[in-house]
Amino acid sequence: MSEIFVFDDTDRKIVEQLRQNGRATNQQIAESLNLIASTVSTRIRRMEEAGMLRVVAVSDFAVHGYHVIIHVAVQVSGRPALDVAEDLAEFPEVFAAHLVTGSYQISLLLTLRDIDELPSLITDQLSKVPGIKSMTPAVGLDVVRYGLDTGPIDSRRLA
pLDDT of residue 133 exceeding 80, the answer is yes
Domain ranges of the chain: 7-57, 62-139
Residue 85 vs residue 66, higher pLDDT: 85
Q: Residue 48 phi/psi, 5° resolution?
A: -65, -45
Query: Rounded to a whole number, what is the distance in angstroms from the first to the last CA of the chain?
Result: 9
User: For residues 119 and 105, what is the distance between their CA atoms, to the nearest angstrom?
Assistant: 22
Query: Which element (helix H / strand E) includes 73?
Result: strand 68-76
CATH of domain 62-139: 3.30.70.920
- Return the pLDDT at 151: 59
Give the pLDDT of residue 143.
74
Task: Tell me what the pLDDT averaged over the chain comes to.
Answer: 86
| Residue 21 scores a pLDDT above 90 | no
Q: pLDDT band for position 148 (50/70/90)? A: low
Q: Spelled out in words, what is the top-level CATH class assigned to the domain 7-57? A: mainly alpha
